[in-house]
């Protein structure tokens, strides 16, 4: 079997879509990539893990770009900020001016208080409670 030929034909015939879209089936199905039917097939655990790893790297980079003293932070606080960047996007984290200023000053109580005072804190529930505690204490 000419597997490479099959792959080339499928790429040509399906086309590449990097964001989910509704296909032309009746009823329409969510599709992504080269015709991956998300409604019927979804993604595998391995694919989900690979996407998470790539997204976590981007989140770390986004958070690091916002904190000039990033390399001086302990792992726990770096992870808190990267976790928030993944959840909010780098642009969303950038809006946390009081948090970022407190992190720069090494004032962990003020940093945690800024997290608690945000709308985000009430929106994400237990995640925010845990992250604020980790920011305050430096303990995961």
Alpha-carbon distance 121 to 111, whole Å?
A: 13
From the list 31, 33, 43, the residue with the least C-alpha distance to 10 is 33
C-alpha 15 chain-centroid distance: 26
Q: Do 49 and 107 meet the contact criterion of CB atoms below 8 Å apart?
A: no
Categorize the per-residue pLDDT at 1 as very low, low, confident or very high, splitting at 50, 70 and 90.
confident
Taking only the tens place, the pLDDT of each residue in 91-111 is 999 999 999 999 999 999 999
DSSP 70: G
Taking only the tens place, the pLDDT of each residue in 55-97 is 999 999 999 999 999 999 999 999 999 999 999 999 999 999 9
For the chain, list the domains and their CATH numbers.
3-41 (no CATH), 45-137 (1.10.530.40)
The angle subtended at Cα 140 by Cα 74 and Cα 111, nearest 5°, is: 60
């Amino acid at each position: 079997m000419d597997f490479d030929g099959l792959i080339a034909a499928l790429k040509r015939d399906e086309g590449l879509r990097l964001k989910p879209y509704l296909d032309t089936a009746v009823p329409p199905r969510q599709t992504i990539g080269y015709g991956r039917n998300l409604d019927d097939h979804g993604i595998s655990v391995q694919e989900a893990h690979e996407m998470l790893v790539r997204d976590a790297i981007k989140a770390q980079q986004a958070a690091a770009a916002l904190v000039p003293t990033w390399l001086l932070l302990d792992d726990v606080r770096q992870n808190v900020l990267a976790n928030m960047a993944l959840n909010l996007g780098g642009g969303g984290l950038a809006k946390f001016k009081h948090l970022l200023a407190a992190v720069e000053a090494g004032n962990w109580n003020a940093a945690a208080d800024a997290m608690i005072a945000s709308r985000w804190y009430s929106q994400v529930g237990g995640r925010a409670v845990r992250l604020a505690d980790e920011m305050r204490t430096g303990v995961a």
